[in-house]
Chains A and B, each alone.
Chain A
Amino acid sequence: MTVALSGKDIAGRLEEKFPGSIEESGPDSLVVKSDSLLAVAGYLKDTGGLEFNFLNYITAVDYYSYFEVVYQMTSLKHNHSIVMKTRCYGRENPSVPSVISLWQAADFQEREIYDLMGIKFEGHPNLKRIFLWEGFQGHPLRKDYL
């Protein structure tokens, strides 16, 4: 059985290592500030005992006042998982760092989020629309898109 690790516990460890990187934490998930996302994700992936080597999925949710990007990672070695989130405020030009350097699985999924939700992933080598055609106006999964 995959154990869902408590976001609070992991957030405590992260706070020691990267002070000020955690925005919020709960029993199911932790919210990381987007500027320390890459460092935190790298730490979660490479630290012994955690080793989240498998990225299940990335998705994004539009909460009007901010976008939330959700990452779920699993460690195939220890069979535990964690949900990490990050928020980007402002609807004009939201962006978060790309995690493609850590997990290649992010490639198409980040492009999908960029296409449908309009969030830019900095550092993605080929960030362009994936499903919709070039020149399409708007991002359909946003709540204000009709």
Chain B
Amino acid sequence: MTTTEMMTFKTEPFILNFGPVHPSTHGVYRMRATLDGEVIIDIEPVVGYLHRGIEKLAEERTYSGFIPLTDRLDYISPMSNNLGYCLAVEKLAGIKVPERGDYLRVIIAELQRLANHCIAVGSFLNDCGAYYTPFMYAFRERERIIDLFDMVCGQRLTYNYMRIGGVSQDIPDEFLPALQKLVKRMPRWVDEYDFLLMQNEILLARTKGVGILPKETAISCGITGPVARASGVNWDLRKNDPYSIYDRFEFDIPTGETGDCYDRYRVRMEEMRQSLRIIEQAMKDIPAGPVRADVPHLIRPPKGEAYARLEAPKGELGYYLVSDNSIAPYRCHIRPTSLINLTALREMVKGWKVADLIAIFGSIDITMGEVDR
């Protein structure tokens, strides 16, 4: 057969199903990819496999009774979810958190960011083909942070530590020395990743210029967090709309320029360093005193609505609450960072190969618990 004859072969798009149970889908995400050979023409995301109706469940629980369910949203960073919900109820009911409670919240939330980025970076490298070695390195660090969480609340995954008006209990005496040790060691670990990976030829080839998300698309698609910042959107709620006591700390907002997978990876690495900076400052200034305001078990916020948001590790996480002056929220909507960050995936993967799809998807860093709720 001549080359010309081969060229006239009839070809047709091929539909490939990814997931929902697939190691690279980070949970139970499914996509139907339409392929032309190995090139992606289009993808259709299919979600809902982990839908538990958490927003509906909120309407049947008391305000404080809903906190444990927020752990089950983004189960990679439950502390941030706890905090976001508590901020919303406090805004609705006009509750003020004592100073020490605020400091503890900031320390814990930043530790949570570190733990989340450990998983985000680790599993992203896994998706890029650095099979399980960096992942285990990242888990080693995360383990130290989980030990600290265990110390403050006795839990390793679903913490339920934040309370309306503060945190559930004060830290034990051994917490701050252990934290000090971690803060001292952690930068060395982050540098170790850099040393191993930042200049790695294979990683650069797999991530540089791959899956570019332009700034305008990022804004239009409502993308937030490290993904948006990697595309050059200089927007971080800790700086632009400071909640809790973030206005007291000095830190930088790392941003990228091209918005490719490499930038998203790099921004996360840099954010880990900045989080350590915040923790160091908070540790130094933490005052003595109560950790929780005197809030009754059953609160009845006045009629009205409130939206409180925070910079969760994955982006803007918000809770929209409507109160009808009863003991349960009339409506509780959760702004799902992970779901909205997926909006741009379709645009990002068009024209790339299947292997790149895995890398691009991994670089967004989503949790299915939050996508499906």
Interface residues in A, total, Cβ within 8 A: 31
Distance to closest chain B CB from A110 (angstroms): 11
Interface residues in B, total, Cβ within 8 A: 34
Contact between A2 and B240, CB atoms less than 8 A apart? yes
Annotate A30-58 by CB proximity to B: 1 below 8 A, 0 otherwise.
00000000000000000000000111110
Contact between A72 and B307, CB atoms less than 8 A apart? yes
Instruction: Report whether over half of chain B's contact residues are helix, strand or loop; otherwise say mixed.
Output: mixed
Contact between B343 and A107, CB atoms less than 8 A apart? yes
> Looking at the complex, which one of B53, B318, B331, B343 makes contact with A108 (CB distance below 8 Å)?
B343
A-side contacts of B221, CB under 8 Å: 103-105, 107
What is the CA–CA distance of A11 and B232 in the complex, to the nearest angstrom?
33
Interface membership of B55, Cβ < 8 A: yes
Distance to closest chain B CB from A119 (angstroms): 14
B-side contacts of A61, CB under 8 Å: 322, 330-331
Contact between B217 and A104, CB atoms less than 8 A apart? yes
Distance to closest chain A CB from B249 (angstroms): 15
| Given A1-B241, A79-B240, A105-B343, A56 and B309 contact (CB-CB distance below 8 Å) | yes
Contact between A59 and B220, CB atoms less than 8 A apart? no
Contact between A53 and B219, CB atoms less than 8 A apart? yes
A-side contacts of B241, CB under 8 Å: 1-2, 79
Q: In the complex, what residue of chain A is closest to B222 when comparing beta carbons?
A: A105
Interface membership of B242, Cβ < 8 A: yes
| Given A2-B240, A55-B222, A132 and B51 contact (CB-CB distance below 8 Å) | yes
Annotate A102-146 by CB proximity to B: 1 below 8 A, 0 otherwise.
011101110010001000000000000111110000001100000
Which of B222, B305, B316, B339 has its CB near the most chain A CB atoms (within 10 A)? B222
Q: In the complex, what residue of chain B is closest to A107 when comparing beta carbons?
A: B343
